[in-house]
Structure 1
Amino acid sequence: MNHKPELLPVWSYANVYHKPKKMECAALAQCLRYDLFSTPEIQNDLNSVLEGVQTTFTCNTRLNRLRDGTEVHYAFYRDGRTVREFSLSNTYRVESAQLEDSGNYICEVRTASDTVRKNSNVIFIQIQELFLSPEITVDPSLSVNEGQQVTMECVSDPIQRGTTLLYTFYKDSQIILSADWKTSYVIGKAGEENSGRYQCSVQSRDGSVRKNSTEVHILIQKLFTTPEIRVGPSRLVKEGEQVTLECVTDPKGSTSLKYLFYKDSQIIHSADIYVIDKAKEENTGSYQCSVQSQDGNVRKNSTSICIFVQSITITVDKDSKDFVYGESLTLNCSIKKGMSPLFLWLHNETAVEKNPESYQLGDNGKVLYIESLQSHHAGTYSCKVSINNLADNKPFYIVETFQISQILESHPLGSNIIWPVLGVLALLLLLVVILLFAKRRQLSSLFPLLSHQQNSESTFDKDRPRDDGRSANEGTNGPDENDNNQHLYGNVSSQQEEDDISYTYIDISKIKGPTNKKDEPSVVYSVLKPPGASMGSQANQEKDDSANIYQNFNAEQHKEGSF
């Protein structure tokens, strides 16, 4: 703003900064000059300035009437420091007075060409406080244990009556409680994350005055470290293997702790170690453990980890367990589910190379093909399946093995059919034994005396005389062509038991050899009697002590009355 100074009504020395030298003048007019403007005066619009209130300073001066068009500039200073540079405005405004605005103020006026400068008088301004600077207090102390309650208080007293104050709390320069009526900030259960630098500020209701406390550092002492969940042997588990999960933490001192294990956010165990004896597919999931103090005021959780239970099998393209030189062999490694597996084949702990002469790999490494088995192909084959897309990108793997003990030159004789054949033969043998047993029982029931007859016949045939003129040698050659007419009868005991006579053999056959009569059937009776027995007066006794044969007679003799 342009301010036109008043014209000076009197003459005066202009811009005198030192005592002028004494000089002789031919005329008084030669020693006098015009005063361009008067000495400036600084003023403030308020007698008492409160914090947050706007106040204005004014610099007043008057221009000489003879130099009414002179342009002058104004500057303001506080305690010797410039608070506003030279400008055409003769006022300086403080929008919201603060305590630091207190001090000694002066202003300075100069011409546009900076040939003439004049300073004003000095005035002192004291800014009156609305409220005292706050102080932050901590209870119970700046160092507390986890789980304890911590209370911070922001203390400030208003000086001017009716002043309304708002409180703000900060942690590490970040607002944690903003412009509230409350003078305190409470941490119910202090945790490790509550350690840090704390500060509070107090401000007037309109926000024109704001004051900050000094910072305090609060340290929360750990009762125990954040737990870590560990898995053995691996997070990728072969079905049927044992899995051990351990919740590891570092307790401070003699702190008694409680442990919990979770699977898919459900509690499954309440100790620091959890064991799965034989892992199954349903054991796959997200696991986490937590540790807490006995009073439950402090609780810490581990990060979650994923455990995958996978089934892996190796199959071959043949039923026989014999591996023969020159034959082909295909091994197939498979798992139940996907997860982008990577397959690696090992032979005796050495990675199988893609060598067409020995091995061929197919189906993204799942299939191992051997075109012609050789002696060096014997050994242990391992299929190693790994998965790299777990949360922490660490490779985990499971292994299945297959054993080829030896390579045979050829199949063992009958190795493929010997057991079926032996089974059939055993069954047939059993049937034969059953049939023979049944047949024997049937024959025994039909011919109970068969065995005894055969024994008697054998003895008699050797000893009896041949009536048909054949020699003993001829008789032993077996029956003639007419033996089909022969009849056998059982032993017949005599009704006269006292004579002890029995008919031991009856032979009905055609008489061979010389005879006086025509060939016709005849009956030969053999009568046996033990030594000392009497045959009666009608028989012609021919005693043979060796065979005990008393008489042989035929049917014709019986007819003639010789019997």
Structure 2
Amino acid sequence: MSEKTPKLRNTPVVVSHSLAVKLVVSEPPIFEGSSLNLQCKYKSISKKHEAFYKDGIQIPSEQMEQSGKGYNIKVNSPKDSGLYHCAADNKKSERVNVQVQELFSKPTLKIDPINEILEGQPLKLICAVQTRQKYERLQYSFYKDSRQLNYNSVPSYKYEVVASLSDSGIYHCEANSRRYTLKKKSDEVSISVKEVFSKPVLKVESGAQLFEGQQLNLTCLVEIFRSNFLLRYTFSKDRQTLINTAEYDYYTRERVGMDDSGMYTCEATNLNGGVKKLSNQVVVSVRRIPLSKPRLTIQPGNKLIEGDVASFTCSVSKGSTPITYTFYKNLNKELYWETTNLTMVTYGIIEVNKTSEGNYSCCVANEWTKDSLQSNFVWMAVIVPVSDAFLMSSMNTSEISTGDRLVLQCLVRTGTAPQFHWYLNSQKVENFSDSYHLNIDGSKLIINSFKKDQGGRYHCVATNSGIDGAVFNISSKYIDVTLKDHGYAAVITPAITSILLLSSSMIALVCIRIRKKSQSTSSGVSLPEGEASANRSQPLNEEASAINFGQFQATENNDATKSDANLVYSLVSIATAQDLDIHGGKARCNQNNMESHNEHFVTYAALHHGMKDNHLETLEMEEGGDYENLPRS
């Protein structure tokens, strides 16, 4: 609570003695950080509505915590002192003077030394606090730039360090009461640590790149800011001490060898050892000549499966560093390059595929090599496993006629050098019989003349070889092939019967409609040359659809107008479907009902007439022939 209170005497807490309402508070002393208990007691009041006040202002209910005896409020500081009273149903108690006492004073941060602070000197911090209770135990914490450094539980805490430049910053301390959860913070104090000498700089007078036999000269450069301030110098290689002296700040090695290559540093220390400073790192390289021919290796091997991880390592047995490594594919495609002090470099391909296949090599060079040196070529082969096998048929139907040619082809989506295996009804089909024939790569199964025993369920299996005897395989779906059922006897007999009946009817019709010879200018009518042959059916193309048997077409002969108008000419042809030209004008077939090419058909067209010795010429009916209906004399 932060309200201002009037100045009152520090008297004990009293209890009001109003006849109706009275306020009872905690027994003194009351310290900051503790709780103040308030009890409102009353008599002869029907409605019990309580409210508590400090200096005439009602205390918010959220600041009050109900307990077994009245209410508790947290007092945070002496500012919470004041006049308290309570009220019940508009009846107020007398005011009670409550005094909150300070538990401990605000901390003070003290610095030792007070004046100039030099790096290497002891630095002492003291957090001073005065407590009001003899046995009050406090906890102390120290902070630098708002970051806690340490804490402890002693009445007067001292925090000590050996000062360094990194100790410069803004400091404060805090005191904390364990019993009352009360914390107080000191004012901030700025500390600046003075530098007595600079950070060393290691300089290589002879240069960091040397040949065997050359001299190495190192100097440790330090700037000293205090007079009569002596230092000790330590030179190290790869963290191993070479020399430790206070007499001179340099290091010399007359003749270097390959073992002198490495990382060098120097360290400067004041004589009492309070301050140590490390220099920068210098890498010294002793070079060898000549550079050896590089060697390229592929891991895990030169033959990989698609998806494998490949790494190419280019190495040299000797050579001056740094070395530049360059990796190539097929000589002209640069993949990767790197300059390093290492004698080998590895370049990796995360997942190889078919495009990764090729000849690989690497080249090495350094600044002392006139021409770069190239490794031998290494061929990397990538095997792609077979996948997604599917089967294709040369026929657009699963029903095959006897003697038809059937070609089944097995294809794969991917696969290196696939091999194909054929199966009929789960039995392997071999390429050593007259019934089956395979092409060169085995991807096609050819049946030149289909037979009944070749019907069944076909499928193919594609395989290829991997590494270490591994074999990949994939199977296609099945294709069912069956022999077509023709039923010749049931078709041919009705067809011949229909032809004979129709021929008799047409002969009778012609005889009835014949006129006398005198009414005609000619006793015979001839068709245009070539018409008869043009109307004959042609062999059926292999790609043509089957024709529905029993569908007939009658065509009127246009040349009939050259003779008697009442004379009717007709042509009757018997032919098999394989003789019909379904693309010509003689017959157009319904392709929705597919029938065998060997089924018989009857076609009616213009009928030639002719007389031989004024008698009807008798013709023998042959398959594929034309039959004439001639008028009688």
Question: What TM-score bracket applies, with the shorter chain setting the length?
Answer: 0.3 to 0.5
Q: Which is greater in Rg?
A: 1
Q: Which has the higher strand share?
A: 2
The TM-score normalised by the length of structure 1 is: 0.36
